[in-house]
Amino acid sequence: MKVISTVLHCEETMPGPLGGTVLGGATSLFVASGTHTFLIKNSAVILLLSYSILPAISLDGVIHLEVIDHAFTGHEFANFVQGVLDQMQPWPLPNSVLVMDNARIHKVPGIREMVEER
């Protein structure tokens, strides 16, 4: 297990390391174990759920969205891209350009070919 953060008796309410707040006078410990994160607070253990959110955004707003309860795999990302491509149009119509940065998951084998086939 990996300790993410400890808060030892803080006097004031403050932001917690995972987005929530830690109440004044509380003793808290954030612990990560595998794919789960736990908050141990005043002898209570609370499972903190996390989600991966992957949106495709155009000038008109969100055109495709996936929310899952774990990290995206290469296969899941390829399925996401397929869903995005279904919402896109040929050049020079709106939603005709797909932009990705150099994140490792964007380099999954077959992604470039899938996009270029369209």
What tens digit of pLDDT does each residue of 4-45 get?
A: 444 444 444 445 555 555 444 455 555 555 555 666 666 666
pTM above 0.85, yes or no: no
The pLDDT confidence band at residue 71, using thresholds 50, 70 and 90, is confident
Cis amide leading into 92 (omega within 30): yes
How high is the pLDDT of residue 35?
59
Same domain, 38 and 89: no
Q: Do 69 and 97 contact (CB within 8 A), yes or no?
A: no
Same domain, 34 and 82: no
Q: Do 93 and 60 contact (CB within 8 A), yes or no?
A: no
- Tally of structural domains, the chain: 2
Q: Which domain holds residue 106?
A: 52-117
Same domain, 57 and 113: yes
Average pLDDT, the chain: 75
How high is the pLDDT of residue 11?
44
